[in-house]
Structure 1
Amino acid sequence: MAESEPSQPAAMFALSDIGCIREKNEDSLHIDPGLGLAVLADGMGGHRAGDVASQLAVDTVVEMMLLADRQKDLQNLLRKSLLQANQEVYESSRKNTDQFGMGTTLVAALLQGNLAHIAHVGDSRAYLLDKDKLTQVTEDHTYLAQIERLGADAGQIIADSAVAKMLVRAIGIEPEVEIDHCEIPLKPGDCLLLCSDGLTDMLSDEEIRDILLQNKQGESTAEKLIQQANRKGGPDNVSVILICP
């Protein structure tokens, strides 16, 4: 059965904050309720031009989806837009010495009727709040998460948080990258959250769920999430996008 097109665009709210310690915000984000598109990227800390990488990746995805034929396979088009973003960031880093080694995470959501197409690389996450249940839709592309997926003992990895957080996949580091993608059904009352690890490193899933449940006002909910992350130290940039069908 074909999905019915929504009578009006889903409400979307985007907010980014530098945090309490960083000197520069290397996160980039974009929302287009009319297109049903939301994109969030976290430039890789410790690498030069992380902000350039994240903005270039977001701009590439947005440009490709603006030109996309909505009658075609949108899930595949979204995946291809992330592949193009990887190519653009990789090539830019090779052409500009001050950008060499730059990279970024990226998570994107594209709404089509009652479906949300999700594509991502890295450890920026997508969550779905269904009634009072919060589910992480994406899988982190970190060393720790990879070890756990393989069923190996992660004890030593957990003891070294720097190693645990290392990305095994990111946009722009290699000429090719594998894109994870999926689609999830949405219904009125659900809430889709895209966020950088500046949020999830500070707040547990339970804390995020409680804030989403207690604050149903869209932009104020985004503000509350960021405020709480900063209240716990805010060591990283924090970015969130809320999508409410």
Structure 2
Amino acid sequence: MENFCEITFCQQIGSNKRHNQDALFNGEAVFQYKLKTAEKCLENRPHFIVGVADGISNNNRPEKASKLAMQLLSKMESLSRQTIYDLQSSLSAELAEDYFGSATTFVAAEIDQITRKAKILSVGDSRAYLIDTQGNWQQITQDHSILSELLADFLDKKEDDFATIYGGVSSCLVADYSEFQDKIFYQETEIQQGESLLLCSDGLTDGLSAEVREKIWKQYDNDKSRLTVCRKLIAKQGFYDDLSVIICAF
């Protein structure tokens, strides 16, 4: 293994929020900070897991579900579709009695640095992207949201054609004693030298358009600067959501 993966991550609480409802696992520790400025570290393990969870704000104490999801992820050795069913069971067992209905999205990647392959697993609208050497973003995951389902039914429409009421997630992890029955995204993908895998909550993608994000990636030459610029641009807006981003650069 000649080259090690560089991991860069940051977090920022949304406007008018008491708790950051996002949680992030950078392969070493779970973060749920009001502000975590961009930090870079070298990952020399041949195999590791990272993830992001976004607590769903109209549910009971969503920060509990997102943090527990990442704490559970931090103890895992591998990812599969079964992971989601196990997470749902664990969330119910640990949270449902005191925080019934606490819910979260989930996106995670299991990365093998030797084969350069990643397993991507998600529910909800937290996303995984592959970013090429030119700074172009390609979304890997499929959003489980009411809006994405409407767009699939109306191919001639764009996101802007629908009211924001349709932005809610259609699949998530919920501490409610039920078995998981919603949609799961799972895919294996290869990552080439010079490419990056980015996981994020929708605080990034709702806060900055695809055009702005790609412009930042092409203007700045390192991930720490890129995340700092993204975070500060979002913080200048009148209303903004919690933000969690992790980049694995190869």
- Give the TM-score category using the shorter length: 0.7 to 0.9
**Helix, strand or coil at the partner of 1:111:** strand
Q: Over residues 49-88 of structure 1, what are the superposed CA-to-partner deviations in whole Å (9 max), with x where a residue is unaligned?
A: 21110011111122122xx5xxxxxxxx343323321221
Match of residue 189, structure 2, among 181, 184, 187: 184
> Cα offset for 1:202?
1.3
- Structure 2 residue aligned with 1:169: 171
Q: Structure 1 pair 213/36, CA: closer, same or farther in 2 (3 Å)?
A: farther
Match of residue 207, structure 2, among 202, 210, 219: 202
> Cα offset for 1:142?
0.6
Q: Structure 1 pair 148/180, CA: closer, same or farther in 2 (3 Å)?
A: same
For residues 156 and 207 of structure 1, the distance between their equivalents in structure 2, rounded to whole angstroms, comes to 17
Number of aligned positions between the proteins: 227
> Cα offset for 1:103?
0.4
TM-score (norm 1): 0.84
- Structure 2 residue aligned with 1:141: 144
Unpaired runs of 5+ residues, structure 2, are: 28-42
Q: Structure 1 pair 9/86, CA: closer, same or farther in 2 (3 Å)?
A: farther
- Structure 2 residue aligned with 1:44: 56
> Cα offset for 1:140?
1.0
Q: Which has the higher strand share?
A: 2
Q: Structure 1 pair 80/7, CA: closer, same or farther in 2 (3 Å)?
A: farther
- Structure 2 residue aligned with 1:73: none
For residues 83 and 22 of structure 1, the distance between their equivalents in structure 2, rounded to whole angstroms, comes to 30
**Helix, strand or coil at the partner of 1:138:** coil
1:1-245 equivalent positions in 2, closer than 5 A: 6-32=1-27, 33=43, 34=45, 35-65=47-77, 68=78, 77-96=79-98, 99-112=99-112, 113-132=115-134, 133-151=136-154, 158-162=161-165, 164-172=166-174, 174-176=178-180, 177-245=182-250
**Helix, strand or coil at the partner of 1:36:** strand
Q: Over residues 190-241 of structure 1, what are the superposed CA-to-partner deviations in whole Å (9 max), with x where a residue is unaligned?
A: 1211111111111111111121222232223222221122223352111110
Q: Which has the higher helix share?
A: 1
> Cα offset for 1:156?
11
AA paired with 1:106? F
Report if aligned partners of 1:60, 1:81 keep a CA contact under 8 Å in 2. no
Kindly report the root-mean-square deviation, in angstroms, between the aligned alpha carbons of the 2 structures: 2.2
